[in-house]
């Protein structure tokens, strides 16, 4: 069996592959034990609909209407963060929780709950204030000017939003769910606001899922597994 990631996620089985050991040559029939490797079965791994939907919007700028529609249609994929990720518990975390916590620490983010994401997609309001900050250096006589923009909520407080959410989706149809971290961000330009949902490291989940399915196929068939493409 031959497994490949690119250009397609597929598993190819060659029925008449070359036999093991050295070859002998017969003057009439040619090389004994030669296989033409032309009888093949190809299985293309079916990506789940959930995976396709999240990958389609990952990293793409969305309007508030587009964000609200996407969240409404896919809110069941968003799961509650564990107490460890909410800093409500210091119990021994699972390895996946530690990975998520590391992401949050590196980007200075915090995990939100599903209802917060729904509220953000439906009732997001920004009040922007601009201030001019003047700094004078008496030692060298220089003066620096800096415009400071600050985003505030409806009550005038600095805007504090959850920037990370957890989703649980299968990579392949009918397979186990994978917990993935999704980042929520926005960009204000003039009077418009664009939103973005970015799924962190989906390639790791994709590779893990495929390796697991290939290992399962190998165990069931007892065939050798190689990564790459068979000879033509």
pTM, to two decimals: 0.74
pLDDT at 140 over 70: no
Q: Which helix (H) or strand (E) holds 101?
A: helix 95-106
Which segments of the chain are extended strands (E)? 2-4, 10-14, 24-26, 30-32, 40-44, 61-62, 78-79, 127-136, 143-152, 164-170, 177-189, 192-199, 226-227
Q: How far apart are CA 12 and CA 229, in angstroms?
A: 8
* Mean predicted lDDT score pLDDT of the chain: 79
Collapsed DSSP state (helix, strand, coil) of residue 176: coil
The per-residue pLDDT for 31 is: 60
pLDDT at 48 over 90: yes
């Amino acid at each position: 069996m031959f497994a490949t990631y690119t250009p397609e996620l597929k598993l190819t089985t060659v029925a008449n592959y070359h036999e093991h050991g050295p070859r002998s040559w017969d003057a009439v029939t040619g090389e004994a034990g030669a296989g033409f490797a032309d009888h093949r079965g190809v299985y293309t791994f079916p990506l789940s609909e959930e995976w396709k939907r999240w990958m389609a919007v990952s990293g793409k700028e969305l309007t508030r209407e587009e964000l609200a529609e996407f969240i409404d249609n896919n809110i069941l994929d968003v799961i509650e963060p564990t107490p460890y990720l909410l800093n409500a518990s210091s119990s021994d975390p699972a390895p996946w929780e530690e990975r998520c916590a590391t992401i949050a620490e590196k980007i200075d983010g915090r995990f939100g709950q599903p209802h917060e994401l729904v509220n953000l997609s439906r009732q997001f309001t920004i009040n922007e204030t601009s201030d001019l900050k003047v700094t004078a250096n008496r030692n060298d006589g220089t003066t620096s000017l800096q415009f400071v923009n600050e985003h505030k909520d409806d009550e005038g407080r600095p805007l504090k939003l959850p920037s990370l959410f957890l989703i649980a989706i299968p990579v392949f149809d009918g397979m186990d769910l994978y917990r993935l971290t999704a980042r929520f961000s926005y960009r204000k330009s003039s009077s418009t606001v664009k939103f973005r949902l970015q799924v962190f490291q989906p390639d790791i989940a994709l590779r893990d899922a495929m390796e697991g399915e290939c290992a399962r196929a190998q165990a069931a068939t007892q065939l050798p597994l190689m990564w790459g493409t068979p000879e033509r």
